[in-house]
A and B are shown apart, each in its own frame.
Chain A
Amino acid sequence: SQQGEEDPQALSIQEGENATMNCSYKTSINNLQWYRQNSGRGLVHLILIRSNEREKHSGRLRVTLDTSKKSSSLLITASRAADTASYFCATDPIYNQGGKLIFGQGTELSVKP
């Protein structure tokens, strides 16, 4: 079963615009992580937000977490063509052991120059 559901499935924007992706999940979590995947490559970790945090920043990335709504959003500001990739949220449910993550289906972002 998929813990994380992402929205939208695909997003197309112009360079310089902001991109927002959303993730909803079903069970209580220890943390939520966002990953990027360029076409044909492995996933790369972007940012981790703990369950007791509400917002986190890293460069042009801003992540929010609302545990009452079981949702998170990833905002990429001033997007660049190089940001074109698929973005996945991954949750670490409280019931899990061993640091296992459950990945969403991803949002495919296209940034047009």
Chain B
Amino acid sequence: NAGVTQTPKFQVLKTGQSMTLQCAQDMNHNSMYWYRQDPGMGLRLIYYSASEGTTDKGEVPNGYNVSRLNKREFSLRLESAAPSQTSVYFCASSELGDLYEQYFGPGTRLTVT
């Protein structure tokens, strides 16, 4: 079991460029999440998908879009990158419900210049 995988591990973009961060999980989880982590800010939820076919905004959704491609895959797209989106991005998955922990991927370190 690979758990939660993310690609790429590192990326440098110029302002205005677009890119898609990929996430896949092999644990048959219903729910998937995208977070960003900035120094001193903890993790903030960008978007989540409670189950296949549904997506909802989190705390900081502006500038991002998501696609729940199937039960395994949940991608995050930056249409026009800005320096404020420089961050480390984590994908996570869990079973649906109140009593389940989240499993995290290794992260993507994104720099926007």
Question: Chain B contact residues (Cβ within 8 angstroms of A): what range?
Answer: 20 to 34
B41 touches A98 (CB 8 A): no
Q: Find the residue from B33, B42, B48, B56 having the highest chain A CB count within 10 A.
A: B42
* A41 and B106 within 8 A (CB): yes
Q: Which residues in A have their C-beta under 8 angstroms from that of B48?
A: 98, 100
Known: A44-B104, A98-B56. A103 touches B99 (CB 8 A): no
Asked if B42 and A104 sit within 8 Å, CB to CB, the answer is: yes
Number of A positions contacting B (CB below 8 A): 27
Asked whether B42 lies within 8 Å of A43 as measured between CB atoms, the reply is no
Binding site for B on A (CB under 8 A): 1-2, 4, 30-31, 33, 40-45, 48, 50, 88, 90, 92, 97-106
Question: Which B residues are closer than 8 A to A by beta carbons?
Answer: 4, 31, 33, 35, 40-45, 48, 50, 56, 58-59, 90, 92, 94-107
